[in-house]
Chain A
Amino acid sequence: MYTTELSKQPNVQSIEDPERLAAFEARVAADEFIEPKDWMPEAYRRTLTRQISQHAHSEIVGMLPEGNWITRAPSLRRKAILLAKVQDEAGHGLYLYCAAETLGTSREEMIEALHSGKAKYSTIFNYPTLTWADIPAIGWLVDGAAIMNQVPLQRTSYGPYARAMVRVCKEESFHQRQGYEAMTSLANGTPEQKRMAQDAFNRWWWPSLMMFGPPDENSPNTAQSLRWRIKRETNDELRQKFVDITVPQAEYLGLTVPDPDLKWNEAKGGYDFGAIDWDEFYAVVRGEGPVARERMTARREAWESNAWVREAAAAHEAKRRQRAAA
């Protein structure tokens, strides 16, 4: 999932050994991978730690809106698919936490930062999953937008992150297809199912476009991230690509894009679309999303009310070692 924090980075110019910095920049420019033990500028390490951990948090928090429907999935097949999908998200969270740990921050520290509100996660998960149609809509649109962001990250300069993305992208691509397939059933279904499908599409369309982050003119550090190959395309480029691919998919389903200003622009070979409500976006980033409190409460409760399990596992392990040594 895209991290909206990237563009809010403080100025990354720092006092580093100019020779090492130049050598590093040359490696990155030559599309070499940077590995955990390689020297890297502090700002690069910080930016990546933030980006990867936020990506991990997004996967974990993202389990909640979809998990909300596992117990109510309408057929055994849909239940199995949804369980498998949410399990994949947990797996993504796990490899991303591991990738971030290679930069020197522990998983506990990252989780603490999430729970204290210091670390962010994708704004999209602060919207509720109201009906079953939200599950297909998330697969199709949210995972679709995520793939758009993540495919370029398979070529990101930090080796562990790039490699994690290869696997994540394969799974996300399957998620998107299953979402679209499930949406097809609804769009070709009963009037009630069609209504659910259109309503879910209406609610998820704009937040999905916001997933690409603020417009390029308000994303001052994009240039630095592009130069470091942490990011490979700008927010607006990716957003345009997403719209151009998704609109015909919606038309095929007979769904109406909730944007009266949407129209094909022959000259640019893409769609023009209406203004995004950036006030809403920044409000959700600040934690004012409709179910932001629910999400954080659920995560904190899972962590805190089960602390005794982790403590027990550690205590048992210590006793076991002690017995083995005796």
Chain B
Amino acid sequence: MVKAVDIKDMAFSYEKNPVLENVNLSLDENDFLAVIGPNGGGKTTLVKLILGFLKPLRGSVKIFGKLPEDAGPIAGYVPQFVQIDNNFPITVIDVVLGGLLRPLSLFPWNKRQSVEKARSALKSVGIEELAKKPFGNLSGGQKQRVLIARAVVSEPKILVLDEPTTSVDSFIEKDIYELLRRLNRSLTIILVTHDLGFISKYINRVACVNRHVNVHEPSDIDNNIIEETYNSPMNLLLHHCRL
């Protein structure tokens, strides 16, 4: 069976600074992978390589057997919160419709079918009633849901989220993880996170990223692995993880 994600002997560097070395990672369909590691360790870079925003220096990255840049519609992506202009004048439904755009989507603007898809994506994340609201007026948790709706509206096979819960309260965080668990039934999910707390029940793989990538079963994660990944004793994190 074709792997959802298949990375072989991959390396990447910005200018001359190696960021990732010797990465091997493979995911099956419907895997739920958490990506953890220190800031600057290469988590976001790894995600950008999987999505095709960056090209590997060596080795290969494939998603569902294709190069990421050819696989665009296969992947949905929820960016880090800071990357989005929070005051941009756009309605919720238009954000979600953006998830259906293709290079030749020119005119007419939005087909009825697309609008219906966008509405049902909003429904699936539980905020159908916000469709006509300006995106800028929403709370952090609602915005995050809109971005998830945009990511799933094209019915991708793989969903990548880069720290989707950094700016939301912990009870909303839990909600969002519940939502991801539901989506995981039909999707492969890659989640970059700082905190394995709530999510540890739902994931089946953990990638510890700090220049190298080591993949573990969640149950294997212990103090040593965390220390190795973060280069320092991280009792705090593990304590927080309740693994």
Is B a genuine binding partner of A? no
Which B residues are within 8 Å of any A CB, using their own CB?
A: none
